[in-house]
Chains A and B, each alone.
Chain A
């Protein structure tokens, strides 16, 4: 065995993140770690990578005791990690980023040569001199992977590596990982995407509530069985029935918008129509104009006259509150800081968007009891796990806060609801609940625009699908007739990146 983990335990105030976790990884094995949010996967790999010290338990690497005091020690022992949130420096070049992840990097020019050589050998071509801020998500991930490969790792840890990749990019990544495994590198792979785990991994260890509840060969199980092992309960498939496309409600045409961030794209000529009772899915890799589109639809950024029509009325110049009054609501991607104010209580956060359509204020003064009961109704209707509506938004886990911000908008009876990445970083059970809520909303006659990177999710809930690529929106197509491969091509394939010939 390459790595053996025995009885690892780690407690945080109030939570037992890992409770006696044991498993083993053999050389050349692709080993999946499965579990819902908060099951303890991240804590576990952080202990293996030396970022967190275990309270109890032991690890052995190549049979010898292994107690990394810091990531440096882990890297020296041959353990490398690709992070979920990229640990890259946008203003620095590819070569500089790689150098920062190495213990004794060669001089820059020699390093640039090695980056070219290794990246081509593994089919992940990269230009060492480019600034990371200008790279696509897939290319950024290559930087992380190359950084690990240059250290010749024995164990490669990958935390949610595919969440930002197009299907074609995922294929390229899997090809690289299989090649690495064939050369004897063990891979510890964390993902929510069960189909990917079935396609890639040899064995899986399933965590729930910080404990190992099962281990299995994922190829022998269905994605559904795996999900049920993670959740510990049966999952209901989403219910799409009871919806009818109604009258035209939202028309967008010729929508242009300047980028919101220095590395972001501009929206160019975006247009689509939306009917009541319909769910329009908008796919695309993050950073292709999703935030800009949400801002243009929610009213945060006014656009040219006539570009956004609601029931035939021009609303392009109206701000967010005026649009809320007309029933156009939005739930942005960034939960802390955009969708919710982190240090305000859930009640106060409910007032921030809810007061236009709900009577939460009287003569300009806040009606605390009405606001509190509105927040409470969101909490109970959407099963938000929190001690109560007076808790600060920051204190909620990502999934619970996501349920709250989506629920807050859904309970305001929108005419049009725009959501961006509604289930990003949310575990399977909570994600299913959010999707069902969006479908139920559409069944009641609202129109829903779901912007997401998760293609399976869009195929599951949307009636029509459009791809956002470099600020341009493709013509929407009926999802029923689309294959995953066609969608990948609509998303711009692998963004012009081809696998290099070996």
Chain B
């Protein structure tokens, strides 16, 4: 199926892979923000996940251990943030920005020895005859396991926040930390856990970039994906299903513009490269505008420091 020089089936298949890093990072950030913490360090955690995952995969030869390493690197970054903002009560915005700068710098330093190295390949899941089904086979059954894992994580996050007791406590902490404390819930512990989860997912997203998408290590390779993840969380009104939509939209435009470049469209490359960012933000702004309460869906305690006074 070819439309205007672009193969639609290939496009959709690429879209899912292209969206995975942002989807993972945004889902992680969603959980942290639902607990009431604004962590602007997503970009820094992602790039640390990218370099950490890459190093672990190259050192062990196992992409699985690589992803694990990426998640641990992201979570470690998040725990630095958690210590500063939850224990020392530093300003969340400033600390998050610093975390991004720190991550970009540190990853460049660590990554020096890995430039030009090829990571061990992450195999596609063998679906056998299923992958031979026309159209659907190519779209649904031609991916590596992280793509399916990311979708499962979104579904699990949705279920966790919506239906589990622990998810209810997490939302309560993000909604009104004083009341949650008065009821005897441990606000700081909940927030630190949520942050670590968010960091691990951002790290996974970063590792997916360096191990599967590119696949190699280059300095600053996240190229703003962490910021897009942050924007998606806000415009998705803190709902996992809309985060999925936003991330796939971003990935979709990324895939289209790459294919348009390949198909030789006479549009300046800069405009095409810009398109995913612009279109994602415009679309999400429209969604928010259509849902009157959308902008007010923010967790009420988002970004506010908690200090038990009694």
Residues of A within 8 A of B (CB): 46, 50-52, 70-72, 75, 83, 86-92, 96, 99-101, 105, 108, 262
CA distance A101 to B171 in the complex (A): 14
Residues of B within 8 A of A51 (CB): 182, 310
Residue of A nearest to B169 (CB): A100
Which range contains the number of B residues in contact with the other chain? 20 to 34
| Residue from A71, A89, A108 within 8 A of B176 (CB atoms) | A89
Residue of B nearest to A101 (CB): B183
Knowing A96-B168, A99-B165, A105-B165, the reply to whether A88 touches B179 (Cβ < 8 A) is yes
CA distance A71 to B172 in the complex (A): 16
B:109-167 near A, CB below 8 Å: 163, 165
Residues of B within 8 A of A92 (CB): 168, 171-172, 175
Q: Quick check: is B300 within 8 A (CB to CB) of the other chain?
A: yes
The answer to whether A100 and B168 touch across the interface, beta carbons within 8 angstroms, is yes
B:256-302 near A, CB below 8 Å: 293, 296-297, 299-300
Query: In the complex, given contacts A83-B182, A87-B182, what are 8 additional A-B residue pairs having Cβ atoms less than 8 angstroms apart?
Result: A71-B184, A86-B179, A88-B176, A90-B176, A91-B175, A100-B168, A262-B293, A262-B296
Which of B169, B179, B184 is most buried by chain A, counting CB atoms within 10 A of its CB?
Answer: B184
CA distance A189 to B296 in the complex (A): 36
Task: Count A/B pairs, Cβ under 8 Å.
Answer: 53
Residues of B within 8 A of A (CB): 163, 165, 168-169, 171-172, 175-176, 178-180, 182-185, 293, 296-297, 299-300, 310
Residues of B within 8 A of A108 (CB): 163
B175 smallest CB distance to A (angstroms): 4
21 contacts between A and B (CB under 8 A): A51-B310, A70-B184, A71-B182, A71-B184, A83-B182, A87-B176, A87-B182, A87-B183, A89-B175, A89-B176, A89-B180, A90-B175, A90-B176, A90-B300, A96-B168, A96-B172, A99-B165, A100-B168, A100-B185, A262-B293, A262-B296
CA distance A99 to B165 in the complex (A): 9
CA distance A83 to B183 in the complex (A): 10
Residue of B nearest to A46 (CB): B310
Residues of A within 8 A of B180 (CB): 89, 100
The answer to whether A99 and B300 touch across the interface, beta carbons within 8 angstroms, is no
CA distance A272 to B241 in the complex (A): 50
Q: Which 3 residue pairs across A and B have the least CB separation, nearest first?
A: A71-B184, A87-B179, A89-B175
Residue of B nearest to A86 (CB): B179
Residues of A within 8 A of B178 (CB): 87
CA distance A353 to B172 in the complex (A): 38
B260 smallest CB distance to A (angstroms): 42
Residues of B within 8 A of A75 (CB): 184
Residues of B within 8 A of A46 (CB): 310
B306 smallest CB distance to A (angstroms): 14
B62 smallest CB distance to A (angstroms): 41
